[in-house]
Structure 1
Amino acid sequence: MLDDFLVRAGLAGIGTALAAAPLGCFVVWRRMAYFGDATAHAALLGVALSLALQGPVMLGVLAAALVMAITVQAMTGVGLAQDTSLGVLAHSALAAGLVGVSFISGVRVDLMAYLFGDILAVTVTDLALIWGGAAIVVGLMIWRWQRLLTATLNPDLAQASGISARVEGLVLTIALALTVAVAIKAVGALLIGALLVIPPAAARPLARTPEAMALLTALIGCAATLLGLAGSLQFDTPTGPSIVCAAAAAFAVSAVGARIWSKR
């Protein structure tokens, strides 16, 4: 079954959506959308380093994303506003990655795949890495769910309960880096942030509890992945952007439906 590239692509997309779903909820609740973008932009620098060192691309992306996320946290509160720090680091990392890739022979043809994803070229090894990473992210979110939720929605209660905001922030940082490494094959470095933000934004008006929002986000992400994949094959469009367009359509339907329902 795994010899069929469409089956591999679908499974890779579903694994990516499952990894992004619970983390995306916290990205929306904490207003960390630009933080996700900054981490994702570092992915291309990780790609360049991996290719230069002839190492696994996913490992290089994970390392670069983790370094970026930790650096952003460290720079917060040292005199620069967080959005300024994020802007400087995100664009610098993206530019450095693009320049670095240009120095490596034989990579220019594949640059679009790293920027916008190449889910149709997923191998069985890639699939194992994607689902392994997704399992770690989901397991980490389940393990820390209540503590993360308390630290996010009620910081005063978290402090009174002995929950460390710094530790929970580190957990989110690690999960975000893993998700970026998982998602780069499916949607590429430029659209990972969209996959983290749009499905939970679409689920938010429809969910009554945080857990329901996480589950609905996973369903929307999986549906957008499969619809985007089908649309890409039908209309010969780039797969990664097609997946994001499908998620954006789900958000539009959710927003309009919520507005109509609220007027009843």
Structure 2
Amino acid sequence: MTLLDDFLIRAALAGFGVAIAAAPLGCFVVWRRMAYFGDATAHASILGVALALAFDTSIFGGVLCCALIMATTVSTLSGRGYAMDTLLGVLAHSALAFGLVAVSFLRGVRIDLMAYLFGDILAVGRADLVVIWLGAALVLGLLIWRWSSLLTATLNQELAQAAGINPRREQLILTLALAVVVAVAIKVVGVLLIAAMLLIPAATARSLSRTPEQMAVVAALIGGVAVIGGLQLSFQFDTPTGPSIVCLSTVFFAISSFARLLQRSR
């Protein structure tokens, strides 16, 4: 019997893989105020699940394609006469609704919709682990490769253009990374909680860090600790694992926010 035969070990590895990819990417989501962007991309993944099942193809491939299409659509339409919050709200809820309706048309296909909405980390297999870690490696590789350009384009687009950096290209790179994270995270925390894994560790790390690089590392550590702790709490109290991970992340955020308020009051 190997370590990977233990479902808890597989779950911990899967959650940690998602956390170390989602948290640094979440820093850019926080800096760019793109919270709804993550939601819209995640909600589109349910439509990807339905299409993948309908055409008997890979769930990961279907989710990745729909997430990419959604993210590219948002990037293309932004700044063209649509208020960003309105555009994202319409696309996010429409994609989720169309996905749920499409799932209802599938006949002869057994699908645990709750697992896709809230995740089923305890059911992660070896093949899922390979996909998750390959996706995490791709996202981290993209972020490391383009870190300086992404950061410059995030802080000041005029400065980026003066330095020969194309802000739209950097936006597309973030879009690709976000779509990959959504595709690998759906098995772990589900559609409705993916945005939380992106945002909460990054928001928590913001008050604990002095530099952008430090914030990315601290966010990844917080996400990893939340995964391990959430798994432990779920196992001990028999609670849903994905939501337990997010709840623990929220507790960390509340503690860091309270500590920051105390420090300011002094």
Do they fold alike, i.e. is TM over 0.5?
yes
Q: Indicate how the Cα distance of structure 1 residues 106 and 193 shifts in structure 2: closer, same or farther if over 3 A, else same.
A: farther
Kept after mapping to 2: 8 A contact 1:5/1:120: yes
- Are 2:85 and 1:83 equivalent residues in the alignment? yes
Q: CA deviation at 1:78?
A: 2.6
- Which of 236, 241, 263 in structure 2 is aligned with 1:261? 263
**Hey, what's the Cα distance between the residues in 2 that align with 1:209 and 1:177?**
26
What is the root-mean-square deviation in Å for CA atoms of aligned residues? 1.0
**Hey, what's the Cα distance between the residues in 2 that align with 1:149 and 1:160?**
14
Q: CA deviation at 1:103?
A: 1.5
- Which of 122, 126, 129 in structure 2 is aligned with 1:127? 129
**Hey, what's the Cα distance between the residues in 2 that align with 1:27 and 1:240?**
21
Deviations 1:165-193 (A, max 9, x none): 11000000000000001111110001101
- The amino acid across from 1:192 in the alignment is I
**Hey, what's the Cα distance between the residues in 1 that align with 2:194 and 2:92?**
13
Residue matched to 2:6: 4
Q: CA deviation at 1:154?
A: 2.2
Residue matched to 1:165: 167
- Which of 141, 151, 154 in structure 1 is aligned with 2:153? 151
Q: CA deviation at 1:85?
A: 1.1
Residue matched to 1:214: 216
Deviations 1:193-226 (A, max 9, x none): 1111000000000100000000000000001111
TM-score normalised by structure 1 residue count: 0.98
**Hey, what's the Cα distance between the residues in 2 that align with 1:90 and 1:198?**
19
Kept after mapping to 1: 8 A contact 2:68/2:179: yes
Q: Indicate how the Cα distance of structure 1 residues 107 and 195 shifts in structure 2: closer, same or farther if over 3 A, else same.
A: farther
Residue matched to 2:69: 67
Q: CA deviation at 1:88?
A: 1.1
**Hey, what's the Cα distance between the residues in 1 that align with 2:63 and 2:252?**
29
- Range 51-60 or range 32-41, more displaced: 51-60
Residue matched to 2:240: 238
- The amino acid across from 2:94 in the alignment is S
Q: CA deviation at 1:77?
A: 2.5
Kept after mapping to 2: 8 A contact 1:101/1:108: no
Kept after mapping to 2: 8 A contact 1:116/1:241: yes
**Hey, what's the Cα distance between the residues in 2 that align with 1:258 and 1:169?**
31
Kept after mapping to 1: 8 A contact 2:23/2:199: no
Residue matched to 1:197: 199
Residue matched to 1:51: 53
TM-score normalised by structure 2 residue count: 0.97
- The amino acid across from 1:148 in the alignment is L
- State the secondary structure of the residue aligned to 1:186: coil
Residue matched to 2:99: 97
Kept after mapping to 2: 8 A contact 1:46/1:97: yes
Q: State the identity as a percent.
A: 66
The gaps in structure 2 that reach 5 residues or longer are none
- Which of 219, 226, 229 in structure 1 is aligned with 2:228? 226
- State the secondary structure of the residue aligned to 1:185: coil
Q: CA deviation at 1:108?
A: 6.0
**Hey, what's the Cα distance between the residues in 2 that align with 1:105 and 1:13?**
32
**Hey, what's the Cα distance between the residues in 2 that align with 1:118 and 1:105?**
23
- The amino acid across from 1:137 in the alignment is V
- State the secondary structure of the residue aligned to 1:190: helix
- The amino acid across from 1:118 in the alignment is D
Q: CA deviation at 1:235?
A: 1.2
- The amino acid across from 2:81 in the alignment is G
Q: CA deviation at 1:262?
A: 2.1
Q: CA deviation at 1:32?
A: 0.2
Residue matched to 2:184: 182
Q: Indicate how the Cα distance of structure 1 residues 86 and 203 shifts in structure 2: closer, same or farther if over 3 A, else same.
A: same
Q: CA deviation at 1:105?
A: 3.2
Residue matched to 1:116: 118
